[in-house]
Structure 1
Amino acid sequence: MTAGPADLLRRLCDSTSARLAGAELRERVAQVRASLDAPLRVAVAGAVSSGKSTLVNALLGLPVAPVDAGECTFVVTQYEYGTDDGHITIELRDGEVAHSRLLPGHRLPSDLGVEVSRIRRLRVTLDQPSLRTVTIVDTPGMNTVTAANEQAARSMLFGSGDEDDRAQAMIYVLRYVQKFDDTTLAEFRGLTGACGMSCVNTLAVLGQVDRRGDEDDPWPTARRLAAKGYQDLRTSVFDVVPVIGLLAETARACPPGAEEFAALSTLAGMDEDDLEDYLLDLEDFRTAPDLPVSSEVRHRLVERLHRYGIMTAVRALREGVVSDPKGLAAHLLERSGYASAGRAATGSVAAGIAHFARRADHLKALDALTRLRAIARTPALGSDRSTLDALAAQLDENKPIATALGGLRIFAAAEALGRGTLVLNEEMTAELLRMARHDDPAEQLGLAAGAPKPEIATAATAASMRWRTLAMMSEGRTGGHRARDVLTVLEDVVGAALAEDRKPATATGGGPLPPVSVDRAAAEALRLSPMVPVDDRRALELLLSGTELAVQLGAPPSAPRTELAGYAAALAARFRVLTHRPLPIRQRRAAETLCEAYEAIWARCDRPDGP
């Protein structure tokens, strides 16, 4: 099995720590190392009264996070996996630790026995399987999203600027009524950027989409606003999704019981217009003396379902869609928008969490990479300086991503796009964001899932030509390095797609295709030029020395004919770029000759009946 980015970074942390003399530096590296083995830390942040803690309860499937304005809502609370279910570790700002337990029903106590001003963080242990891979961090609500720098932003979100408070992904809850004006957008981008978040690890949620009050069905408008929000924020977020957090919390954390089901069934038997009149004013609904359901139960229904939830439940009962409390909970969850229809990769909170969980190792590695680069910039003397310089050289962000960290290439490019160091046109921006959002190569290229391999190879080859041109035009700059990272991924997609083609690349007699003759003088003229990239010089060496066509193109021996066509097309594009560079006339003409040679090979291999 090929080692992933996290494996390389673990080894790098171990070797660096072993060479460092300073205890503080060793501890910082050890923290990075530990984060690679821990569950992914996902912070849930948002404005005050945005429905943030309600969403946390829906994520956990338990009514743990307080939704009222108690003292716990002003404290960072981390929900993590553990077998001692309900244990609370209270970390104090002076370094001391106190302990407590959740109340029956998995609820945080209103009084922790410690002044809230002394508390740095709560750590709540829950025996929930979902927390084995993802740790949920509930943060205090904010009145503003302005942050002057990363430490201040982390302090605003998590309670301190310490390294172990750093989240590796974030869900940010926006009030549904909040406008996506220029100020809001600028503040949001500033906050996510300052906290090290980007379009690969940030999910924006439009909460409380049922609270506008002027629509019987809030979903068409909510989805339209979410789509517009994504277009405005797409370089900063993975997705913008609408949700009715209260319904999701009720369905997942505290489903309606028999008493509530009976009460809703009774309400379903009322005249439709009469019930709608009562629900126009929820206070009237709570206190009206002539309704056939007790006031206490009506209070509970409003708290747990609100107007839209009550009407949704009543409508489902009238239409016979549900027949028991379990079916009602499932229907409420569906109408909450918490999960996407089918197995959609985007469009809901559940899809966003699945994205984070599926790419947890890469997101943790990306965070570790950023932290190790910061450590490498730390002032140091003697042997520690040499050790940090060696670390910096291995993780230099001003170079293409190392092969062993290849899984981070698209993420690094997407981050550069968000920071503005990679500038793209509309077509390439959409292309990069598709690659960051999807795992399936066909969907990454804008094709239908399950598209034929040759179609994938053709689309990836066309895209690689665009990215190769950008990489050459921006050579030596950060944008050029990130473009080359994307190019490498696309070339890998071409190779993988064509490798599955079963048609053998054989000559008429059944053996491998023989080598083609090339203009050796032209190839040598370019191979010896210092202005030709190292990868292109290596390609020329193979072209001159290969004993069969596949080897000449850098493909596996006896590779399928269509795969050779893809290799030749990519090489033709590379050498076509050289013809537009300021090379001496002899070398430019040599590049044109070789470009034509590769294009001829491409055409030859692409013909089904080619020799």
Structure 2
Amino acid sequence: MSALLDSARGVLDRATEVFAADPDALALLDAHRGRLGGPLRVALAGSVKSGKSTLLNALVGEQIAPTGVGECTRLVTHYADAPSPRIGVVYRGARRPADPAELPALHRRGSLVLDLERLPLDRVAALHVDWPSQHLRELTLVDTPGVDSAALEGRPRPWVGHGQDGAGDDEHGGWGADVVVHLVRHLHEPDVAFLEAYGDRVAAGVGAAGTLVVLSRADEVGGGRVDAVMAAGQVARRYRSDPALRPWCATTTTVAGLLAETARTLRGVEFTALRTLARLERAELDEQLLTADRFVAAGSGPDAAGLPEGTRLALLDRFGVFGVRLATSLLRRGVDDSAALAAELARRSGLDELRGVLGERFLARRDVFQARAALLAVDRLVRRARAEEPAAPRRPSPVPRPATGPGAAALTALAAELERARSGAHEIVELDLLTTLRRRPLAAARRGSGAELTEEAERLLGDRGPSAAARLGLDEATGDGELRAVALATLARWRARAEDPFADRDTTETARVVVRSVEGLLAARPVPVGAG
């Protein structure tokens, strides 16, 4: 375990002593202790029907999250790797004798079924689905109800750190996420406004540095043309520097969720049906695929134009018109087996790029996100305890009263230990500064624009990945000698900014953190013995 996680564990142990009489606090601390060094917990957030469950299935490669026409995710549901399938139920408060502790792990048409009819939804905090999957060994995925869900009316909204003081991070009712993937259907003004309205509450405690915005319906861009995902990717890249979106996320990317899910779960009968369609005259198939209705109607004639109506409806349900167009086009170009087709559909859906972003920006900093989440949980407990601490009486009471919580001295000592851990963890300082820079970019320097200065600072702080090459803007194959030379030049440049008497406070403080980051890169690459 890393030194950073060891430090966080020490603070959690100290907090456990301070809050020994508070069972809720102990449950929260134990949950964070158990997460240290384990899979990164990624919450999928967004409005109703933004494609959260579909994307979850695509990432896992199996249909384990319910999807459909109506609202499917009514409870926060955690999906984690385990030796055997199990669906556990976590309640708010004590479980009553008639409350089921588990749900049966049922399959229907290749999908996992979550039967919620027997559950008192108003008292259920979350479901925990154990599922054997290699794709869940590094990530625990948290599927969440839409933030605008009618299913949440009258129930606590399970947002990370909800509440004015962020004290609502309930491990049993909240997401307990290290990072958040926020899905939006489009990136128009209403979608950005939605992020502004919900972003703070959804990702409180995670911040912009731990949030990824995904344009999840990429196939709808450009009328569902074969190049729709490419066009959506251009839109997402343009929005990465948009000042209206920057405060809410580390970066943006795009994915055609339905196509990604189908590519990861492609069935043999579907490949056969697509190959039959690909053998039709191109003009004939193009005309059929102008609309979904035309495509289905073409299967109702005597010759069914290659495929009957029922098969066509099943293809639309799994691929959509865009997916059928793309798949048949690939088959015409020479893709000749189901495995190759699935791989190419996954790549073109944007799923591979999304997985790359998750790996480079979040999984590579798993320890940092987990330690930061643990320390924030302790910080919230301390602030909540101080807020509930009664004022000191003017005169001592002649009647001794039992203590109802941790004493002021214990809280002060814990707060001091917490501050030492946070300030001594440079990786966490980097994350916090990245979030600050997303919301408050640096002002223009005497030489260079503020945007250029901010972009370089973010890169050096690990915004594009924590490796030395990514921070320095070099290829990953760059040798240590060149990395060291570029790092030395960068260090000199940012030391000058840190010592510039004309620089504003934000630039000076940012430069000091950047200098320490670059010094860390150089310390990891000492000059070889005998080198001139």
Would the TM-score normalized by the shorter structure come out above 0.5?
yes
| Residue matched to 1:237 | 249
Shift of 1:16: 3.9
| Residue matched to 1:36 | 36
Q: What TM-score, normalized by structure 2, do the two folds share?
A: 0.80
Q: What TM-score, normalized by structure 1, do the two folds share?
A: 0.71
| Residue matched to 2:521 | 493
Q: Is the 8 A contact 1:442 1:456 kept in 2?
A: no
* CA distance in 1: counterparts of 2:183 and 2:333, whole angstroms: 33
Q: Is the 8 A contact 2:160 2:205 kept in 1?
A: no
Shift of 1:267: 1.0
DSSP 3-state at the match of 2:80: strand
Confirm or deny that 1:205 pairs with 2:214: yes
Shift of 1:226: 0.3
* CA distance in 2: counterparts of 1:93 and 1:71, whole angstroms: 23
Shift of 1:49: 1.6
Deviation digits for residues 197-223 of structure 1, max 9, x if unmatched?
223311111011112416441134212
Pick the aligned partner of 2:234 from 206, 209, 224. Answer: 224
Alpha carbons of structure 1 residues 70 and 38: separation in structure 2 relative to 1, 3 Å? farther
Deviation digits for residues 104-137 of structure 1, max 9, x if unmatched?
2341245542243443211111011232332111
Alpha carbons of structure 1 residues 401 and 23: separation in structure 2 relative to 1, 3 Å? closer
For 2:418, give the aligned amino acid.
Answer: L
Q: Is the 8 A contact 1:75 1:139 kept in 2?
A: yes
For 1:492, give the aligned amino acid.
Answer: G
Deviation digits for residues 79-107 of structure 1, max 9, x if unmatched?
1122222x111223453253112322341
| Residue matched to 2:11 | 12
* CA distance in 2: counterparts of 1:23 and 1:220, whole angstroms: 53
* CA distance in 2: counterparts of 1:112 and 1:360, whole angstroms: 37
| Residue matched to 1:410 | 430
Confirm or deny that 1:351 pairs with 2:351: no
Moved more, 367-376 or 348-357: 348-357
Alpha carbons of structure 1 residues 103 and 59: separation in structure 2 relative to 1, 3 Å? same
* CA distance in 2: counterparts of 1:115 and 1:430, whole angstroms: 49
After TM superposition, list the pairs within 5 Å mapping 1:95-106 onto structure 2. Answer: 95-96=94-95, 97-104=100-107, 105-106=110-111
Confirm or deny that 1:366 pairs with 2:366: no
For 1:84, give the aligned amino acid.
Answer: S
Q: Is the 8 A contact 1:410 1:436 kept in 2?
A: no
Deviation digits for residues 151-179 of structure 1, max 9, x if unmatched?
8743889xx75244221111111103644
| Residue matched to 1:606 | none
Pick the aligned partner of 2:331 from 303, 308, 317. Answer: 317
Q: Is the 8 A contact 2:226 2:326 kept in 1?
A: no
Structure 2: which 5+ residue stretches go unaligned?
A: 150-155, 390-402, 445-449
Tell me the percent identity. Answer: 30
Q: Is the 8 A contact 1:400 1:482 kept in 2?
A: no
Q: Is the 8 A contact 1:461 1:491 kept in 2?
A: yes
For 2:205, give the aligned amino acid.
Answer: G
After TM superposition, list the pairs within 5 Å mapping 1:37-76 onto structure 2. Answer: 37-68=37-68, 72-76=72-76
Q: Is the 8 A contact 2:497 2:507 kept in 1?
A: no
| Residue matched to 2:349 | 336
Q: Is the 8 A contact 1:200 1:437 kept in 2?
A: no
* CA distance in 1: counterparts of 2:352 and 2:193, whole angstroms: 30
Alpha carbons of structure 1 residues 265 and 79: separation in structure 2 relative to 1, 3 Å? same
Alpha carbons of structure 1 residues 110 and 99: separation in structure 2 relative to 1, 3 Å? closer
Shift of 1:69: 5.0
* CA distance in 2: counterparts of 1:125 and 1:175, whole angstroms: 29
Moved more, 278-287 or 431-440: 431-440
* CA distance in 1: counterparts of 2:501 and 2:193, whole angstroms: 34
Shift of 1:440: 2.3
After TM superposition, list the pairs within 5 Å mapping 1:548-587 onto structure 2. Answer: none
Confirm or deny that 1:121 pairs with 2:129: no
Shift of 1:7: 0.9
Count of residues in Structure 1 that have an aligned counterpart in Structure 2: 480
* CA distance in 2: counterparts of 1:116 and 1:26, whole angstroms: 25
DSSP 3-state at the match of 2:218: coil
Shift of 1:465: 1.8
* CA distance in 1: counterparts of 2:439 and 2:376, whole angstroms: 14
DSSP 3-state at the match of 2:160: helix
DSSP 3-state at the match of 1:359: helix
* CA distance in 2: counterparts of 1:103 and 1:115, whole angstroms: 20
Confirm or deny that 1:484 pairs with 2:512: yes
* CA distance in 1: counterparts of 2:528 and 2:198, whole angstroms: 46
Indicate the structure (1 or 2) with the bigger Cα radius of gyration: 1
| Residue matched to 2:451 | 426
* CA distance in 2: counterparts of 1:483 and 1:206, whole angstroms: 33
| Residue matched to 1:266 | 276
* CA distance in 2: counterparts of 1:470 and 1:192, whole angstroms: 38
Q: Is the 8 A contact 1:20 1:387 kept in 2?
A: no
- Using CA pairs under 8 Å that are at least 6 residues apart, name the structure with larger relative contact order, 1 or 2: 2
Alpha carbons of structure 1 residues 205 and 19: separation in structure 2 relative to 1, 3 Å? closer
